[in-house]
Amino acid sequence: MLGRAASDLYWLSRYVERAENMARLIEVGYRIVLLPRAGEGFHQEWQSTLESAGCLAGYTARHGALDTTKVIDYMLFDTSNGSSIATCLAHARQNGRAQRTALTREMWESLNSAWLEFSAIKPGSVTSNSLPELLDWIRSRSALYRGSMLNTILRNDTYYFSQIGTFIERADSTSRILDVKYYHLLPSTEMVGSGADNHQWTSILRSVSAHRSYRWVFKDSYRPWKIAEYLILNRQMPRSLRSCYDELTVALNDLGSLYGQRHSCHATAEATRDLLMESEIKKIFQAGLHEFVQDCIGRNNQLGCEISQAYHFNG
Amino acid sequence: MAASFDEMNGRGDGLRAPYRAFAEWLGIQKIDTLALKTTEAEALFRRSGITFAVYGDEDTSERLIPFDILPRIIAAAEWRRLEAGIEQRVKALNAFMYDIYHRQEILKAGRIPEELIVQNDAFVPEMIGVDPPRGIYSHIIGIDIVRTGEDDFMVLEDNTRTPSGVSYMLENRETMLHLFPDLFSRNRVRPVENYADCLLKTLESVAPANLNSDPVIAVLTPGPFNSAYFEHSFLADQMGVELVEGHDLVVIDGELRMKTTEGLKRVDVLYRRVDDDFLDPLVFRPDSMLGIPGVFDAYRSGRVTIVNAPGAGIADDKAIYSYIPEIIEFYTGRSPILANVETYNCREDDDLKYVLEHLPELVVKEVHGSGGYGMLVGPASTKEQIEAFRAKLKANPSNYIAQPTLALSTCPTLCNGLVAPRHLDLRPFVLVGDQVRLVPGGLTRVALKQGSLVVNSSQGGGTKDTWVLQD
């Protein structure tokens, strides 16, 4: 496979995953803003949402003060925002078109129709009533693309690079959500009995579609350290860092066997996976959640760079 | 201009045999249903991304070529004749190119004026003495054929460089099978789906000699912004080979290699869909960003095969066109099975005089033009347009050829809720390698405007599925 093709597939997956994560972040932010007692708190909510999405600086430069309509527009439609859903879908489709040969017909058609339909939406036409439906639609398109990929693609390098892109992006997204909202998770801020109705906490779980599965796993009300444990260390939770790294090491190892060659990225992924396997949440909090998550973000970026070098993404 | 021959109804003298089953079916269709099917076809094309770019049209960077759901049908016997004529023609064209890049017998014999070759921009002197595998220069040829009567098929143009449109032939059929399965049970239509297989076999058959492994094949595209990008990726996909751009390739130690995830890998056959000029900045245009420095040397030394060969454009040059009957006779010893359209070379005084006197009746084309640009269709032009063209023609006569305006055949076509006759042509795609391979079918292009004779997609033409019936 061409190095450029591998790079396009990797980024295609990242953009699809990013679009889905953006949709989820907007949804959560909007829910909170709608709460009757949100009041002035909406500033803080949008700020942390934009920060989690990695586009606070861009928003501030463009619009200045936080405003619900502008934030939503910036995250959904603004093509000057490198992570807006419009940008993600356009890039994903562009990469897909460049690698049309590597995609199955189902993958291409789900990607192309998502882009065509989204491009037909007029930004001004989205109302607070239609927003949830639109966000649902975006998530369903991402699911359709990924489902098509999993159901139709050959298990060769095309598949491995697609998987790697998805899980690098997902690990990055989960880490950022944790990092931005980490202060809400600090046990010191927890007040006895207030756990169950803390919207900030549920919002973290909602951001990764895990507010219901949490209950199934812990059979307990929301506890800060358990939320953190769930998102970082739980191997069953499909958006946890541990899960992402399980998938990453599998994909990288399969790729290594296919090509008969291992690179530094293999060791890097395994080291992070081992760290996530062996860590305990208590110790993580003792050493500092923020520091731990920052370390994970750094490792994840490092892994991305090593993969792009090992497989000649730039020729 | 006499009334046109209609593919379905002849000259009003009754339904033609190949259309019998189809006409019966058409007779019981509701026009609304057909309109609905057209919309459905468009949605299918758009979803699968079969779009093309129109140069100079910024708003619609990706457009669909209009697709007409009523097929064009060719009888088995008609196809046999076309097949024989096409095979004869492509063999002669390749023999001609081998000759003019080697001993130039045809020039020595005085059958073609020498300056027409050596002073021609399409002649690539760097190719002199180069021996391409099997002596083939043009492996993939699109022959544009027009019809003016029951037995009157004529070749309007040969496309020996990088002909495009074959993906439409294949996708049009897929779409028709999807929309009208019952039509195919009423008609015995020969399949075209093995085209990619034939293409792959053709490419493999011209790989450099003495390879110690299976030949590695790649399709070279200028990139996603090229108007035919869909076709490039479509063909690479159908053959299961890499689709590469210039910057994915590099020449090292005289070998062409592509940059893969596992490092550099040798390429043996390059099916290029970029023009000669952009192929190798060291030999052709130095400012080309699309090409690969050094690839021409690798080709010349036989380390990689370039398909079609550089310099293959000499065979489809419009100034050479009028000599093709001579070329066929010279190399095959037989008279052409398929006729040429009568052509006036404006570089010759007598012809120029005739053309200037008859401009309102003629079609005048630029020698190097394509895509329907820069041409004059006399009968469809205003006096002002004709006079403006006359000035251009006088200023540079050798840049033009002229042909009589042909009464192209028509075929029933769905236009604004009515079935009406529209003019069309036919481009079969022929492959030349260890043998000549021709898939039964081709791209039928149809002029959607009433009376229009310009079928080019860049000028608002559409396409139809092309059926070749079994005996």
Domain boundaries, chain B: 17-208+304-341+406-468, 209-303, 344-404
The structure tokens listed for A109 are 């058609």
Element at B404 (helix H, strand E): strand B400-404
What is the β-pairing status of strands B67-74 and B461-468?
A: parallel
Q: Please check whether residues A135 and A246 belong to one and the same domain.
A: no
As a whole number of angstroms, the distance between CA B338 and CA B82 comes to: 7
Question: Tell me, what's the pLDDT at A198?
Answer: 65
Is the Cβ pair B263, A312 closer than 8 Å?
A: yes
The C-alpha atoms of residue B57 and residue B69 are separated, in whole angstroms, by 26
User: With contact defined as beta carbons under 8 Å apart, do A129 and A213 qualify?
Assistant: no
Residues of A with CB under 8 A from a CB of B: 1-6, 94, 97-98, 100-101, 105, 108-109, 112-113, 116, 157, 161, 259, 261, 311-312, 315
Q: Which residue of A has its CA nearest to B62?
A: A116
Q: Measuring CA to CA, which residue among B146, B152, B175, B169 is closest to residue B455?
A: B146
Tokens of residue A229, six digits: 């444990």
Same domain, A98 and A132: yes
In the prediction, which pLDDT does B368 show? 73
pTM for the model stands at 0.85
pLDDT at A191 exceeding the cut of 50: no
Cα-Cα-Cα-Cα dihedral sign, residues B340, B341, B346, B352: positive
pLDDT at A74: 96
Segment B189-211, tens digit of pLDDT:
999 999 999 999 999 999 999 89
pLDDT tens for chain B, residues 1 to 471? 457 999 999 998 899 999 999 999 999 999 999 999 999 998 888 877 776 654 444 444 567 889 999 999 999 999 999 999 999 999 999 999 999 999 999 999 999 999 889 988 899 999 999 999 999 999 999 999 999 999 999 999 999 999 999 999 999 999 999 999 999 999 999 999 999 999 999 999 999 998 989 999 999 999 988 888 989 999 999 999 999 999 999 999 999 999 999 999 999 999 999 999 899 988 888 887 788 999 999 999 999 999 999 999 999 988 899 999 999 999 999 999 999 999 998 988 999 999 999 999 999 988 876 666 778 888 888 999 999 999 999 999 988 999 999 999 999 999 888 999 999 999 999 999 999 999 999 999 999 988 888 888 777 789 999 999 998
Beta-carbon contacts of A211 under 8 Å, excluding residues fewer than 6 positions away, are A202, A205
Q: A313 and A214 share a domain?
A: yes
DSSP category for residue B65: P
Mapping DSSP to helix (H, G, I), strand (E, B) and coil, where does residue A166 land? helix
Q: How many residues does chain A have?
A: 315
What is the domain extent for residue A93?
1-153
Residues of A in contact with B259 (CB under 8 A): 2-4, 312, 315
Strand partners, B250: B257
The reported pLDDT for the residue numbered B231 is 92
| Nearest C-alpha neighbor of B448 from the set B407, B418, B406, B413 | B413
Q: Side by side, which strands form the sheet with B305-307?
A: B242-244, B217-220, B269-272, B305-307
Beta bridge partners of B146: B154
Question: Do A83 and A204 fall into the same domain?
Answer: no
What does the DSSP 8-state code read for residue B420? E
Geometric angle at alpha carbon A153, from A148 and A159, rounded to 5°: 110
Q: Which of A199, A169, A211, A187 is nearest to A44 (CA)?
A: A199
Q: Choose one of A153, A185, A220: the last residue of a domain.
A: A153
Domain co-membership, A140 together with A175: no
Mutation test of the interface with chain B: which of A101, A113, A258, choosing the one with the most B Cβ atoms within 10 A? A101
d(CA A240, CA A148): 23
Same domain, A105 and A38: yes
The C-alpha atoms of residue A257 and residue A160 are separated, in whole angstroms, by: 11
Instruction: Write the residue in A6, A94, A113 that is nearest to B47 by C-beta.
Output: A113
User: Beta strands B376-377 and B400-404: pairing type?
Assistant: unpaired
A142 and A284 inside one domain: no
Tell me: do A148 and A163 sit in the same domain.
Answer: no
Asked if B224 reaches chain A (Cβ–Cβ under 8 Å), the answer is yes
Longest CA–CA span in chain A (Å) reads: 59
> Is B260 close to A2, i.e. CB distance below 8 A?
yes
Helices (H), chain A: 3-34, 42-52, 56-63, 68-76, 85-98, 105-119, 131-152, 157-180, 182-185, 199-207, 211-218, 224-232, 241-259, 264-278, 281-287, 289-310
Residue A87, number of CB atoms within 10 A of its CB: 19
pLDDT top residue among B367 and A75: A75
| Contact: A2, B233; criterion CB under 8 Å | no
pLDDT, mean over chain A: 89
- Domain boundary residue, one of A153, A188, A212: A153
Are A115 and A198 within one domain? no
3-state SS of B101-159 is: CCCCHHHHCCCCCHHHHHCCCCCCHHHCCCCCHHHCCCCEEEEEEEEEECCEEEEEEEE
Q: Do B242 and A113 touch (CB under 8 A)?
A: no
Query: The domain B344-404: what is its CATH number?
Result: 3.30.1490.270
Q: How does residue A178 score in pLDDT terms, banded at 50, 70 and 90?
A: confident
Distance of CA A25 to the CA centre of its chain: 9
Angle between the N-to-C axes of helices A289-310 and A264-278, in degrees from 0 to 180, rounded to the nearest 10: 160
Tokens encoding A276: 């996530």
State the Cα–Cα distance between residues B373 and B451, nearest whole angstrom: 18
Show which of A103, A133, A153 is a domain's final residue.
A153
DSSP type of residue B261: T
Taking the C-alpha atoms of residue B143 and residue B163, their distance in angstroms, rounded to an integer, is 9
Q: What CATH number belongs to B209-303?
A: 3.40.50.11290
**Positive or negative, the Cα torsion across B117, B118, B122, B123?**
positive
Closest residue by Cα to residue A26 from A183, A135, A106: A135
Does residue A99 sit in the same domain as residue A241? no
Are B257 and B147 spatial neighbours (Cβ–Cβ below 8 Å)?
no
Name every chain B residue with its beta carbon within 8 A of the beta carbon of A98: 223-224
Express each pLDDT in A113-136 by its tens digit.
999 999 999 988 888 888 999 999
Residue A170 and residue A307 in one domain: yes
Of B175, B195, B143, B140, nearest to B425 (Cα)? B143
Give how many domains chain A has, as a whole number.
2
Q: Is A87 in the same domain as A216?
A: no
Tell if the CB–CB gap between B259 and A2 is shorter than 8 Å. yes
Task: For A202-224, give one letter per residue: b (16+ CB within 10 A) or e.
Answer: bbbbbbbbbbebbeeeeeeebbb
For residue B275, the SS3 value is coil
